[in-house]
Amino acid sequence: MRGKLGSRTYYACLMPMSAIPNLFKFTDWTGFTPEDREQRVLNENRVPELRDYINENDEDYIFSSITASYKSEPVFDPAPSGNGLDGAIGVLKLKLGDELIINDGQHRCAGITAALKDNPAIGEHTISILLFPWESKERVQQMFSDLNRFVQKTSKSLDILYDKRDKISAATLASMDQVNVFRELTDKDSTSLKSKSTKLFTLAALYDANRELLKGREDDDLIANVQWLNEYWTVVAKHMPDWGKVLSGQKHAQDLRAEKIASHSTVLRALGGLGVELMKDANWRDRLASLELIDWSKKNPDWENVCMVANSVVSNRQARAATKAYIKSKLNMELSDAEKRSLERVEPHAEAA
């Protein structure tokens, strides 16, 4: 199809996947200065992910159009008139050996090329291509900028909500609907909560906590995993009175988040991580009762350099590991040598208390 954007004529066509390795030019921009490149350097780490996405979902994968530029002038033969499209549909002829410069979609093309090596059958599938005339390096750079400038990455929470293939996502969503505090107080859209949000948790934080809790069970039966999550978090919620106060309307979510770390993603993920070990103990429900004895206040000096630095809660790997170790110590769980070392910083505060 021939169309027009602004003052430029372009073409939209369907192309077999098998043509991509032969027609598209993959330029190695390594070593070029940014101003001399026509687009970003190919991130090789993304290629296996895209290859596996295609091969593992070869019946229902999906891609957006690839945008490319042609250097030699093509020949467009419009179909006979009378279809009401004024010659917009026809046959586009490119010179044999004419390589197409990728403006947007180089990682998709690289992923498709890699997938074809493992599964040649997908070469019969077709993908849409938008073709523009190549004018200059500056024009190509502008096209890359324009195509990517207004692309907004979806939030992690929304990705989890819409992803029907991820088993942990499916278990998280099913469990969330059955655990009252999560059903009512989880933001399913945002990755971080706004200051006036009436929620305590984000779906992204709950997913990360469940990923820890389901370690070793990722491929187990979905119903069994949902029951596992429900059982654990129901008991945890029972011994987190601050969560219950917000759920019952006795306390505002924004006040709790401002005063305490009880619902922070770092704590939620730590609870998920220790749950894997805790649930091996027949008395795990009784041990969780000690959660009520923990001072979750941000003013508690024990949290400094564990998951708080300069009065701000941090969520890096070190903070999550130290928080998990701290909670385990309060539940009288056995600590590893590494966990004991991470708690040496809080012992003086414990003695002072």
The DSSP bridge pattern shows strands 24-25 and 100-104 to be parallel
Query: For residue 161, is pLDDT > 70?
Result: yes
Of all residues in the chain, the percent with pLDDT exceeding 70 is 91
Q: Where are the beta strands (DSSP E) in 27-89?
A: 66-70, 75-78
Taken in order 297, 301, 302, 308, the sign of the CA dihedral is: positive
Token pair belonging to 170: 């499916």
Residue 167, judged by CB atoms within 10 A of its CB (0-12, 13-18, 19+), counts as: middle
Averaging pLDDT over each range in 186-190, 231-235, 282-286, which range is the top one?
Answer: 231-235
Mind listing the pLDDT tens digit for each residue in 218-241?
888 999 999 999 999 999 999 999
Amino acid at 339: E
Taking the model in full, what pTM does it have?
0.73
The pLDDT tens digits for 50-88 are 999 999 898 889 999 999 888 888 888 888 766 566 778
Give the residue among 140, 130, 118, 103 at the shortest CA–CA distance from 50: 118
At residue 352, the pLDDT reads 31
Q: Which amino acid is at 104?
A: D
Of 17-31, 108-122, 227-241, which gets the smallest average pLDDT? 17-31
Task: Work out the percent of the chain whose per-residue pLDDT is above 90.
Answer: 50
- Please tell me the distance from the alpha carbon of residue 142 to that of residue 139, in angstroms, as a whole number: 5
Burial class (CB within 10 angstroms; exposed 0-12, middle 13-18, buried 19+) of 164:
exposed
Whether the per-residue pLDDT at 243 is higher than 70: the answer is yes
Q: Kindly calculate the radius of gyration of the chain based on its CA atoms and give it in whole angstroms.
A: 27
